[in-house]
């Protein structure tokens, strides 16, 4: 892997829209990624191993619960700072950002929002410091885009619940200390349960052979008559809206994160194109390469504006789920397209691990699928503007 020479593009002076705190948080995350992620990430991805050594650093830059109040160990930041942290982490690697997203939006957020005070105090500070790592179990082998069809279920056994079922494609599952699991009760209503590693009948086999998000551990959650203490049920929200509320928060982070991956690809391609000589001049001097680079910076700038505006709406408590869907869909698609174009700018070198582009490209193939696929987010926009669902 080449030394990390990343310089963040800011074509429209978007820094002028950020607060001093936003910039401070962003710069600290950027510096940490350069120092602690870039030197090890290529090897971690080649080895298909989540680099646990970075957990402490993630906690220190506020990546675990950026917007969770400080009294519970979170960083107490606004939504734009949260987005910027995700952008910087994903500039390093989407797999590392996935770990942070899951911990913050899919584990800490539901415990904070839907949990009681005891649950908040018991779990949030440990999750914020990285002492506990969490995962989020919604997807099942037969229920991906349609999680409402889930079959994982729990029965009331008087002094405890009995949980049965299985979840698939769960980020962080192989090493998570706790899992926030969505399951149906006897009336078919969806609830969130906190399942702890070590509970009898609970196992988390790892999913191997991924070409994407290789530096992020993915696995299953299997529940075979797992006894869950009653105090582990999240009491303050039930129904499909509960997990979907968490996904809103995670998708918002992804809309920002994807910009980071795109910026890294663009910056790498721009630098390479100025150095690589063919036909007696730098390839940056050829119109076709300039077209690629000019379109990249245009799309990045549009995505930055979209994410920033969505952050303002989130700060004001006004962002709708459909607005978040639009940003997630647009920005991930933008990043994937830029990764493919940037890879071509590097010619054969673009396929090697000496540069980050191919890793970003492969990672983004997961990012465009998880947290609602590209198609599903389009259907959400379609439903929002027409008032008619085209899901079924």
Chain residues binding ligand FAD by CB under 6 A are 102, 135-139, 144-145, 169-171, 213, 218, 366, 369-371, 373, 375-376, 379, 391
DSSP state at residue 143 = B
DSSP state at residue 190 = E
The residue assigned the tokens 């996935």 is 98
Q: Using the minimum distance from each CB to ligand FAD, give the nearer residue, 111 or 138.
A: 138
For residue 207, the minimal CB distance to ligand FAD (Å) is 8
Q: Using the minimum distance from each CB to ligand FAD, give the nearer residue, 142 or 231.
A: 142
For residue 375, give both structure tokens: 């198609």
Compute CA distances 223 → 194, 229, 383, whole Å: 12, 14, 35
Q: Using the minimum distance from each CB to ligand FAD, give the nearer residue, 64 or 136.
A: 136
For residue 83, the minimal CB distance to ligand FAD (Å) is 20
Looking from the CA of 16 toward its CB, the CA atoms found within 13 Å total: 3
For residue 376, the minimal CB distance to ligand FAD (Å) is 5
Q: Are 216 and 95 in contact (CB under 8 A)?
A: yes
Dihedral (C-alpha) 302, 308, 314, 319: value to the nearest 10 degrees? -20
Dihedral (C-alpha) 314, 315, 318, 319: value to the nearest 10 degrees? -10
Q: Using the minimum distance from each CB to ligand FAD, give the nearer residue, 44 or 102.
A: 102
d(CA 166, CA 271): 47
Q: Using the minimum distance from each CB to ligand FAD, give the nearer residue, 138 or 345.
A: 138
For residue 227, the minimal CB distance to ligand FAD (Å) is 23
With a CB cutoff of 8 Å and minimum separation 6, the contacts of 287 are none
For residue 309, give both structure tokens: 């505006």
For residue 391, the minimal CB distance to ligand FAD (Å) is 4
Closest CA to 208 of 254, 159, 174, 179: 174
d(CA 4, CA 33): 9
Q: Which residues are catalytic?
A: 371
């Amino acid at each position: 892997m080449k030394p990390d020479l990343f310089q963040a593009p800011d074509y429209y002076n978007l820094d002028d829209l950020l607060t001093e705190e936003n910039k401070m948080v962003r710069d600290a995350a950027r510096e940490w990624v350069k120092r602690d992620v870039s030197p090890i990430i290529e090897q971690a991805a080649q080895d298909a191993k989540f680099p646990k050594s970075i957990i402490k650093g993630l906690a220190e830059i506020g990546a675990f619960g950026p917007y969770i109040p400080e009294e519970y160990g979170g960083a107490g930041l606004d939504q734009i700072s949260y987005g910027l942290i995700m952008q910087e982490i994903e500039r390093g690697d989407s797999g590392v950002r996935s770990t942070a997203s899951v911990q913050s939006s899919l584990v800490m957020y539901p415990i904070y929002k839907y949990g009681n005070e005891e649950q908040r105090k018991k779990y949030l500070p440990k999750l914020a410091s990285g002492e506990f790592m969490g995962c989020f179990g919604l997807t099942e082998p037969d229920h991906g885009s349609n999680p409402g069809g889930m079959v994982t279920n729990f029965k009331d056994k008087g002094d405890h619940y009995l949980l049965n079922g299985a979840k698939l494609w769960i980020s962080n599952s192989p090493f998570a200390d706790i899992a926030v699991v969505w399951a149906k009760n006897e009336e078919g209503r969806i609830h969130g349960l906190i399942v702890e590693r070590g509970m009898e009948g609970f196992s988390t086999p790892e999913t191997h052979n991924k070409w994407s998000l290789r530096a992020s551990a993915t696995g299953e959650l299997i529940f075979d008559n797992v006894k869950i203490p009653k105090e582990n049920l999240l009491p303050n929200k039930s129904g499909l809206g509960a997990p979907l509320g968490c996904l809103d928060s995670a998708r918002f982070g992804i809309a920002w994160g994807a910009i980071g991956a795109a910026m890294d690809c663009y910056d790498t391609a721009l630098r390479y194109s100025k150095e690589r000589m063919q036909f007696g001049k730098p390839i940056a001097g050829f119109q076709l390469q300039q077209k690629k680079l000019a379109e990249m910076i245009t799309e990045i700038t549009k995505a930055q504006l979209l994410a920033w505006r969505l952050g303002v709406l989130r700060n004001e408590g006004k962002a709708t789920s459909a607005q978040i869907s639009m940003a997630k869909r647009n920005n991930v698609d933008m990043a994937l397209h830029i990764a493919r174009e940037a890879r071509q700018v590097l010619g054969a070198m673009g396929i090697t691990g000496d540069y980050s582009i191919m890793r970003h490209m492969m990672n983004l193939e997961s990012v465009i699928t998880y947290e609602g696929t590209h198609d599903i987010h389009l259907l959400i926009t379609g439903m929002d503007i027409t008032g008619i669902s085209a899901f079924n």
